[in-house]
Structure 1
Amino acid sequence: MNELGGRLRAAREAAKVSLSKMAAKTHYSKTYLWQLENNQRVVRPEHVTAYSRALSVAVDALYGPPLDPLRLAHEWLVSDTPVAVHRKAGRRVGASLVHRLESRVIELRHLDDTVGGGDLSPLVQRELSDVAEVVNDGSYTELVGRRLRVVVGELAQLAGWVASDAGAYAQAQHAYLDGVSAAREAGDGALVGQLFSSLAYQLANVGDPADAQLLARSAVTGARRASPVVRTLLLERLAWASARARDREATRRALDEVDVAFERRTDDVPEPERVYWMSRDEIDVMAGRCLIELGDPVAAAPLLTAAIARYDEAHAREVALYRTWLAESYARAGELDAARAALAEAQGGSADVNSARLVRRMGEVELLILHR
Structure 2
Amino acid sequence: MPEPPATGERLGPLIRTLRLRAGWTEDDLARALVTDSGRNTITRTEVWRWEVEYKSRTAGPFWLPHLAHVLNVPVCRLQAARAASKAARRIGHIATATPAEVLASLLPPGEPLAPCGTQAGRRVGMDDAEALLRRVHGLRLADDVLAGGDLVETCVRELRKAVNLFNQTSHTELVGRRLLVAVAEMAQLAGWVATDTGGRVDAEPLFRLGASAARQAGDGALAAHLLGSWGYWAANSGDARRGVELVRAAEAAAGTGVPLVARSLTSARLAWTSVLAGDDRTALRAMGEAMQQITDADPREADGQLWLYWVDAAEQEVMEARVATQLHRPLRAVPLLRGVLAGYDPTHVREYALYTSWLVTALLDANEMEEAAAMANRMFAMAASVPSTRAAERGDVVLAALRHHRRVPEVAEVLAMWDAPPA
* Pairwise same-fold verdict (TM > 0.5): yes
Structure 1 residues 82 and 134, CA gap change in structure 2 (3 angstroms): farther
Structure-to-structure mapping, 1:71-90, within 5 angstroms: 71-72=100-101, 84-87=115-118
Match of 2:334 among 301, 323, 326: 301
What do residues 47-82 of structure 1 show as CA deviations (whole Å, max 9, x unaligned)? Answer: xxxxxxxxxxxxxxxxx9999251236768xx9867
* 1:251 maps to amino acid: A
1 CA distance for matches of 2:295 and 2:329?
25
Name the SS for the 2:311 alignment partner: coil
1:154 equivalent in structure 2? 185
2:317 equivalent in structure 1? 284
2 CA distance for matches of 1:249 and 1:205?
19
Structure 1 residues 81 and 304, CA gap change in structure 2 (3 angstroms): same
Gaps of 5+ in 1: 1-63
2:145 equivalent in structure 1? 114
1:92 lines up with 2:123 in the alignment: yes
Matched-pair contact (CA < 8 Å) for 2:267–2:287:
yes
2:381 equivalent in structure 1? 348
Deviates more, 1:105-114 or 1:258-267: 258-267
1:123 equivalent in structure 2? 154
Matched-pair contact (CA < 8 Å) for 2:357–2:398:
yes
User: Could you tell me the TM-score, scaled by structure 1's length?
Assistant: 0.77
* 2:101 maps to amino acid: L
1:240 equivalent in structure 2? 272
1:263 positional shift:
2.5
2 CA distance for matches of 1:330 and 1:317?
20
Matched-pair contact (CA < 8 Å) for 1:82–1:101:
no
Name the SS for the 2:193 alignment partner: helix
1 CA distance for matches of 2:287 and 2:342?
22
1 CA distance for matches of 2:375 and 2:298?
36
Gaps of 5+ in 2: 1-92, 406-423
2 CA distance for matches of 1:222 and 1:89?
33
2 CA distance for matches of 1:65 and 1:224?
39
Name the SS for the 1:269 alignment partner: helix
Identity of aligned pairs, percent?
A: 37
User: Could you tell me the TM-score, scaled by structure 2's length?
Assistant: 0.68
Match of 1:325 among 358, 361, 372: 358
What do residues 297-328 of structure 1 show as CA deviations (whole Å, max 9, x unaligned)? Answer: 23211110110111011101101100000001
Structure-to-structure mapping, 1:161-200, within 5 angstroms: 161-168=192-199, 171-200=202-231
1:259 equivalent in structure 2? 291
Deviates more, 1:322-331 or 1:258-267: 258-267
Match of 1:143 among 174, 183, 187: 174
1:99 positional shift:
1.6
1:231 equivalent in structure 2? 263
Ranked by relative contact order (alpha carbons within 8 Å, sequence separation 6 or more), the top structure is: 1
Deviates more, 1:357-366 or 1:210-219: 210-219
What do residues 71-121 of structure 1 show as CA deviations (whole Å, max 9, x unaligned)? Answer: 236768xx9867724337984222222121111111110110001011111
What do residues 134-178 of structure 1 show as CA deviations (whole Å, max 9, x unaligned)? Answer: 222221111111110100000000001000012227611110001
Deviates more, 1:204-213 or 1:265-274: 265-274
2 CA distance for matches of 1:69 and 1:196?
32
Deviates more, 1:216-225 or 1:241-250: 216-225
2:6 equivalent in structure 1? none
2 CA distance for matches of 1:312 and 1:73?
16
2 CA distance for matches of 1:117 and 1:82?
17
What do residues 159-212 of structure 1 show as CA deviations (whole Å, max 9, x unaligned)? Answer: 010000122276111100010111111111111111010011111211211221
* 1:242 maps to amino acid: S
* 2:197 maps to amino acid: A
Structure 1 residues 131 and 82, CA gap change in structure 2 (3 angstroms): farther
1:261 positional shift:
1.4
Match of 1:210 among 241, 262, 265: 241
1:274 lines up with 2:307 in the alignment: yes
Matched-pair contact (CA < 8 Å) for 1:203–1:209:
yes
2 CA distance for matches of 1:209 and 1:234?
15
* 2:278 maps to amino acid: R
Structure 1 residues 202 and 338, CA gap change in structure 2 (3 angstroms): same
Structure 1 residues 288 and 151, CA gap change in structure 2 (3 angstroms): same
2 CA distance for matches of 1:321 and 1:268?
29
1:311 lines up with 2:340 in the alignment: no
2 CA distance for matches of 1:103 and 1:80?
9
2 CA distance for matches of 1:66 and 1:220?
36
Matched-pair contact (CA < 8 Å) for 2:241–2:277:
yes
Name the SS for the 2:99 alignment partner: helix
2:24 equivalent in structure 1? none
Matched-pair contact (CA < 8 Å) for 2:359–2:372:
yes
* 2:206 maps to amino acid: A
2:70 equivalent in structure 1? none
